[in-house]
Amino acid sequence: MGLLQVVGKLVIFLGGTMLAIAWPEYTVPAAIAIAICLKLADLFKISFHLPVPFRKVVVTTRVVLLAMCGTLPLMVIGSHASAVVVFLLYNLGLVLLILMDLRLTPKPHQIVVSRDVAAKLSIAENNLVVLTVENHSFRTLEVSVVDEYPTEFTPDRTEFEFTLQKRTMATLKYSVLPKRRGVYHFGNIAVRYRGVLELVVIQEDVPCAAKVDVYPNLRNISRFDLSMRRSHLMETGLITERRRGSGTEFESLKEYVRGDEFRKIDWKATARRNKPIAREYQLEVNQSVVVAIDCSRPMGARIDDYMLLDSAVNAALLLGHQVTRKGDKIGLLAFSDQVHQFLPPNRGKGHFTNYLKALYNLQPRRAEADFQAAFSWLLRSRVRRSLLFILTDLAAGDAAARLQQDIWMVARKHLPVVVSILDPAVRQAATGAVGEMQQAWEKVVALDILDRVRTANKAVEGLGVVALSLQPNEVNSSLLTAYLKTKMRSRL
């Protein structure tokens, strides 16, 4: 309801009350006639609403105090009629002041607001949101801005209050932390500012809807690339072996010896060192990698507000990026009790984009993992021999026994690497001290879980399968290490 409608109804109520007290013989019939007219207008759907340029206007505390002061003449003036006249005139003046404040205050269309946010956000990272507020009026305003961000996000700031000078622009920045992958929507931006006379507060909801996609942690890719450029592989555990040979990928420089090919001499290095220097190259091996991600119920377990599945997806993304950079093929198989996503191995930037799209909205299902169905699908797809990463949680239920029973299906054709992502709380409970009965029971359960996982790992290792039990923060580097070692040793 607009301010003019509110003020109008208030004036009608106060005026009608005073007239009814002073001249009831005239006021009551007039009120009955007005009520009849309004009823007829409602029946014939006739509207008397006045157009108001503001969507939401409220009066300030100053107006309430001024209205209370207007009751003083009723207590001071001796004449009843004079008191009523003074009261009406006072409130009429107050209404005129409010209308004057609305007239002097800049209109909402003079305050332009926009939002700049990336279309693709990274889970578990602070993503920047930039709001721009432009004051096209000739008055300085005290402005409050509130952005309608998705309720699933955690912002570092919810409201901005600042002074916006006339004919200027302000840039506001805050960050949001998405906790789940998927599609989300930003809503409108609420702008609130006081009138020039500070009698009214105007609020406008600026339409500024935007759709964003929360992807796996894309920033891990840039961090890894930076680490590679700075040669910090020792810190991330990526210690790889190199095979020298007659490939075309440069590996290192060495002193030229008799028997080396003449075309491998590096003449610039030879000139700098005043002795023959030859280049060494490492063998190129084009491999096929398939990442099988378990999307069953246990992978939805949360660790510090994030799921085990998020750790698997982030690791798969980083691995896919590195595989693509090396010129190898990357594929995806997402499953629970059935196969939900399958992307045959391929190479190239276009394929990596499809790989990313297939990853970003994987969610856990309310079902147990059916390894037999997933492995059968992979075999029917006629995928060439590949390095197969199976990301799952063997600590839940009988997953370890089922995997142990079905792993032989792919062990004959592919090179499987089983990665069981364990909740850090399990290892902590298994190795922690026992002080109370509750802690004792937790330790017994944790030891039983680790024993089942260890037994399954030994069983699959007997079939020539690599088995790893990792915490979420260890998955990224371990997958990359396993891939690079397999590539350098040409095991495929």
- pLDDT per residue over 260-284, tens digit each? 777 778 888 888 888 888 887 655 5
Q: How is the chain split into domains, by residue range? A: 3-104, 108-215, 219-282, 288-488
φ, ψ of residue 163 in degrees (nearest 5): -100, 125
According to the model, what pLDDT value does residue 18 have?
64
pLDDT tens by residue, 280-307: 765 555 789 999 999 999 898 888 778 8
CA–CA separation, 295 vs 304, rounded Å?
19
Q: What angle do CA 76, 78, 82 make, to 5 degrees?
A: 95
- Same CATH fold, 288-488 and 108-215? no
Place of tokens 């998705």: 150
According to the model, what pLDDT value does residue 239 have?
44
CATH fold label, 288-488: Rossmann fold (3.40.50)
According to the model, what pLDDT value does residue 374 have?
94
Q: What angle do CA 380, 406, 464 make, to 5 degrees?
A: 100
According to the model, what pLDDT value does residue 344 have?
95
Which residues lie below 8 Å from residue 43, measured CB to CB, with a gap of 6+?
A: none
**Is residue 291 classed as helix, strand or coil in its secondary structure?**
strand
User: C-alpha distances in angstroms, 441 versus 302, 394, 431?
Assistant: 21, 20, 13
Which residues lie below 8 Å from residue 215, measured CB to CB, with a gap of 6+?
A: 120, 121, 122, 123, 181, 317, 356, 359, 360
β-pairing verdict for 302-303 and 249-255: unpaired
DSSP string, 262-290: GGGB-HHHHHHHTS-EEEEEE-----EEE
CATH fold label, 108-215: Immunoglobulin-like (2.60.40)
Report residue 138 as tokens. Answer: 């000739």
pLDDT tens by residue, 183-229: 999 999 999 998 888 888 898 889 999 999 998 887 777 766 656 55
According to the model, what pLDDT value does residue 240 have?
44
| Burial track 437-462 (b if 16+ CB lie within 10 A, e otherwise) | eeeeebbeebeebbebbeebbebbee
Report residue 260 as tokens. Answer: 């080396």
According to the model, what pLDDT value does residue 188 have?
93
Q: What is the DSSP code (8-state) at residue 411?
A: H
| Rg over CA atoms, the chain | 36
CA–CA separation, 23 vs 18, rounded Å?
9
Report yes or no: 190 and 138 within 8 Å, Cβ to Cβ: no
Which residues lie below 8 Å from residue 224, measured CB to CB, with a gap of 6+?
A: 236, 318, 321, 322, 480
- What does the CA dihedral 343, 345, 349, 352 come to, rounded to 10 degrees? 40
CA–CA separation, 334 vs 315, rounded Å?
14
Place of tokens 């993992």: 369
Per-residue pLDDT of the chain (492 residues; tens, 9 = 90+): 455 555 555 666 666 666 656 655 555 566 666 666 666 666 665 544 433 444 588 888 888 777 777 666 666 666 667 777 777 777 788 888 888 888 888 988 899 999 999 998 988 889 999 999 999 999 999 999 999 999 989 999 989 999 999 999 999 999 999 988 889 999 999 999 988 888 888 988 899 999 999 988 877 777 666 565 554 444 444 444 444 444 555 567 778 777 777 777 888 888 888 888 888 765 555 789 999 999 999 898 888 778 899 999 999 999 999 899 888 999 999 999 999 999 999 999 899 999 998 998 899 998 999 999 999 999 999 899 999 999 998 887 788 888 888 999 998 899 999 998 888 777 777 777 777 777 778 788 778 878 878 887 787 888 788 888 888 888 888 898 889 888 777 666
